[in-house]
Every structure is written in structure tokens, then in C-alpha cells.
Chains A and B, each alone.
Chain A
Amino acid sequence: MHPAFSVIFLTTLIGIGQGLFLALYTGQVYSLANLLPGQDSQGFYALGGLVALVFLVAGLFASFFHLGHPERAWRAASQWRTSWLSREVIVLPVFMLLVFLFALVHYLGWTQPLFTVSDALVVDLSLIIGFIASIVAFALYICTAMIYASLKFLKEWHSPLTVVNYTFLGLASGFMLAAAFSAYKGIDLVAFFGTWAVIFTLTAAIGRVASLMRNRQLRNQYDLSSAIGVRHPQLAQQTQGFLGGSFNTREFFHHKSAGFVNNVRRLFLLLVFIVPVVLIAASYFLQSEVLPMAAFAFQYLGLMAERWYFFAEAKHPQNMYYQQIA
């Protein structure tokens, strides 16, 4: 497939936004259980929620560049019964609204306890909104990934590993951003978020490497013989029906050399999984506030390469009819 930058930005940016929100909410729940020191509502949760919202808006903004008619985008909410894309179009704005409310409640300081569950769990408005938003965040990971995983003809994507990878890569980058955000604000949560970011990064590495190994086994799923229905071992395409290019030769192929694609894979494996873990580990010992930010920056660059490779890796069966790109 041809990797479109609009979709690369959309999927990576909203993944970070969801991950960052989940990180903030995890921090809030931990501090509720007195496992972590409580944080300032305005300075930490409201600002953090705003940062998550900025990433979500940026992703949504990028997605509009993918559409031929962005002014009709509202129509995309109609087919939620059958289309995962339609489901994503509904869930993403709902999640953005919930994150906005979460940040607003913290900003306005509406965090007085509403009620107490069995004299231990003090529930306030932000906890309820955050709980709903967390469920929606995971639903959004599933919707985004299922857009690709549901296409059964694209064997490279048609796997539960696609959902696993979108979820854990989003969580890893989101918690990495939470660590960077804490480091920037000088808050004593860098080690907490950093540890979780490393755990999610390593989990994502297992899933991503598993999908790379799986996709390497996918060979000879379809050939020219079944494409045109002529049972003969010797088949050669003489013309593809036109002399110039067409949508079919542009949309379904990356038009890069095999060496380039392999280098992108090596680059993303290095930048997404190895460099950030090393930088976070170093930041423990050096007590540096720059290193977590650098870890997030490198991981995001790597994620763009990872998403580029994700699209380039998928071989569309229609390419059989266009042997120059098959």
C-alpha cells in the first residue's frame, strides 16, 4: 500500500493522545490509593489533559487531508453498523469531548468528593469522567486498528496482532510523553511514567516483532493465475491497459526499493523500541530532565517510520493485475 502521511499522523498522534490521557488517569487512580503523591489539579491534570487534547486535535486535523471532501465528513458517522472507519469517526470526537471535560473539571477544581464507596474510595467528578474516557480510549484503539485488521484481503493486516500493536504502541508513546511532561514540569512522576512506558514499549516490541515474523511467512497467497483465471504455469503480462499511471498503480504500492523499505524497518525497530528504553534507563541514573523528552521525541520519529512500514508492508491483491508493481 501507499503510505499516506495524513493517516500516519492521524494514527500516531491520536494514539499518543489516548496513551497520555490513560497515563494521567492512571496517575490519578494511583494517588487516590496513596501509591503516588497527589498532584495539582490545574498544573498537572488540566494541563496534561490539554496536551492530550492537542495531540487528538492534531491527529483529527491531519485526517482531513486524507479526505477528498472533508466538508462531508459528518456523513461518515452513519454506517457504524458495518464500517470500522465509521465507528472511529464516532468514537474519536466522543473521546475528545471526555478528555476536554476531564481537563475542564480539573481546571475549575470541581474535585470535591461526590460520594464515598465503602469508606475508602473517594469518588469525584473527574474520577467518573476519567473512568468513562478510559474505556472509550481503549475502544478507540480497537476501532483504529480494526479499520486495517478487518480487511481480510490484506493478509499482513488481517490479524489480532494489528490491534495489539496499535494499542501497545499508543500506550507506550503516551506514557513516554507523560514521563517527558513530568520531567518538563519537574514533577516527581518521571520514574513512575517512565517505568510504565518501558514496560509498554517492551510489550509492544514483542507484538510488533511477532507480526513482522508472521508477515514474513505470508508467501504466495495469490498469483496471476488465480487473478485472471488462466491455469498455466507460464503467464506474463504484456500490457496493463494503459501507458501512463493510474490510481491502481499509485494507491497500492509504495514505489520505493526493497532496500529502502528494509532500512525503514531497521530504523523503526531502533527508534521505537531500543533508543527510548536506553534513554529512560539513563535518565534514572543521571536524573536528567532532558532525556525523557528526548526519549519521547525519538520514539515519535520511530513511530512515524513504523506506521510508514505498516502501510508499505501490506501487499494488496489488486497488484497482481499490475505486474510492474506486483
Chain B
Amino acid sequence: MTQLALVIDLNVCVGCHACVTSCKQWNTSGTAGPLPDQRPYDDDPSGVFFNRVQTYEVGCFPDTETVHFPKSCLHCEDPPCVPVCPTGASYKREDNGVVLVDYDKCIGCKYCSWACPYGAREFDENNKVMKKCTLCIDRITDMSLPEEERKPACVMACPTSARIYGDVHDPESAASKAIREEGGYQLQPEWGTKPANHYLPRRKQQIHISEEELVRADNPLRKEDEVPFDQQSETLDDVAW
């Protein structure tokens, strides 16, 4: 059984909000209709977002660390929001485990949002239905896209590769490996919701440097003793203009 999910690396997230804006851009222009905003340029702006990046300060000054915390639907394996829905608009896809809302069936009673302990769902005040992260279902299942683009918009946009997308039930997927090897954890596992999304904690950074990387291939000022390549004739840099 497939369970698609995101693994979010808090170690490398820099809090740039690229995932937030790319998510908004993709999902407001998609087939499921816009994610409207209210008063976007006035006081007290508001609007629907599937993904938010929060920032936390850990520790006491001067020993502090800043943790940027991207927050979206966790696509729980036992989602508490689904059984409470009176219309069946909220459902979990059998084939890939993504939790979705059928916007044509939703009556906008907001009961699902009460049942979600993570606050992952947001009510669309313009269309009067509940909305939530779809894991870009219209991207990841679109076979007309090249395979490397069949990923959620937030994953495509992340400049630091802090978002790993994959099947957490497949032990060989990049997501499963990251969870296994980098100490991936779930949010509030005590609720028994079995969130599919995982987070990778802050940890000691390991840098892998090969020997070739220590030698500069291009060395125009010849500050080092040895020239890394056999120079037979003048190069462009040797010519004094």
C-alpha cells in the first residue's frame, strides 16, 4: 500500500517561505478553483493557505537556535477528520493515502477542522467549503508531466531541499531512508493519528568532501605551490593586457 507524504528537514529549512508561495500559486491556479484572500492589501489581511512556515526560538539568549517549522496537512494514516465528515466529502485516497476534500460535496460545517488536532484545515470564506493540502494531487498524478515534475509544488520550490517527497511505506524511498537514518519523527504521535508526514530534527551537520574538491581546478593567481594541471602554453589569464 502506498502512503505518499513529505519529510521536512528542520535542519536545513531556512524559513524562506518559497514553499508557501509556490503552494499558493499552484493551488490557486489549479482545477480545484482559487484559494481566495480577504482584504489582501488592507489591515487584517486573511486568506487560505495549505502550507505555512512558522518560526520558533529554542533556548535562552545567547544560546539560541532559530527553528523554521513548515506546517501543512500531515496526511494521517488514521485521519480523525475523515470519519466525522457527515457528507463523505472528506476522504483518504485508497491508492496513495492522500487525504482530500471533495469541494462539490462539502457543506462547510467545519466539523472536520474541529476534529484535526493539528489545525491543518482552513475554511474558504469565499467558496464556503473546507480546504486543505492536497499534496498537489493534480501534479503528482498527472502522467502528462515528466516524472521529475510529478512532485508537490512546495518540494519543487524548496531551494535547500528541505522537503523530501515519497512513499513512506516503501522502505527504499528517499523519504523512508531519511526517516530511518536521520531520526525522522511524527508530530504529537500520542494522539494515535499516525501522521504520514515526518520531520527531521536539528542534528550535527556532516559534510562529505572528496579529495578532488580540495584541489582547485582553476587557479588563475597561482597562489598555491603546484599547478593542478600540466600547463604547456599561455592561457588567457597569463596574458597581460
Contact = CB atoms under 8 A, between A and B. Distances in A.
A73 B107 contact: yes
Contacts of A243: 45
A76 B107 contact: yes
A187 B83 CA distance: 48
A239 B80 contact: no
Interface of B: 10, 20, 39, 43-49, 52-60, 66-67, 69, 71, 80, 83-89, 105-111, 113-119, 121-123, 125, 127-129, 185-188, 190-191, 199, 201-202
Given A67-B109, A79-B86, A229-B199, A248 B122 contact: yes
Interface string A130-159: 000000000000000001001111100000
Contacts of B106: 68-69, 72
B71 A76 contact: no
B46 A236 contact: no
Contacts of A230: 10, 56, 58, 67, 201-202
A67 B108 contact: yes
A186 B76 CA distance: 60
Interface stretch (A25-33, A82-90, A106-114): A82-90
A243 B20 CA distance: 14
Contacts of A228: 56, 67, 69, 187, 199
Contact of A318 (B44, B117, B129, B185): B117
B119 A321 contact: yes
Contacts of B129: 68-69
Interface in A64-107: 66-70, 72-73, 75-79, 82-86, 89
Nearest to A68: B108
Interface residues of A, number: 56
Query: Which 9 pairs, one residue from A and one from B, show the smallest C-beta to C-beta distance?
Result: A68-B108, A68-B128, A318-B119, A241-B52, A82-B83, A86-B86, A76-B86, A75-B87, A244-B45
B67 A241 contact: no
Contacts of B113: 247, 251
B128 A69 contact: yes
Nearest to A81: B83
A7 to B, nearest CB: 10
Contact of B114 (A1, A244, A246): A1
B87 A76 contact: yes
A85 B109 contact: yes
Nearest to B84: A83
Interface of A: 1, 66-70, 72-73, 75-79, 82-86, 89, 147, 150-154, 222, 224, 226-230, 232, 234-248, 251-252, 316-319, 321-322
B86 A252 contact: no
Given A153-B117, A235-B56, A252-B119, A244 B88 contact: no
Contacts of A242: 45, 49, 52
Nearest to B131: A247
Given A247-B113, A318-B117, A69 B107 contact: yes
25 contacts: A67-B108, A67-B109, A72-B107, A75-B88, A79-B83, A86-B86, A153-B80, A153-B191, A222-B190, A226-B188, A228-B69, A229-B199, A230-B56, A230-B58, A232-B59, A235-B56, A236-B56, A237-B56, A241-B52, A241-B53, A244-B46, A245-B44, A316-B117, A317-B117, A318-B118
A241 B58 contact: no
With most chain A CB atoms within 10 A of its CB, the pick from B47, B111, B128, B185 is B111
Given A152-B191, A318-B116, 18 more contacts: A75-B86, A78-B87, A79-B83, A85-B111, A86-B86, A86-B87, A147-B111, A224-B56, A230-B202, A234-B60, A239-B55, A241-B52, A246-B49, A247-B122, A247-B125, A318-B117, A319-B119, A322-B119
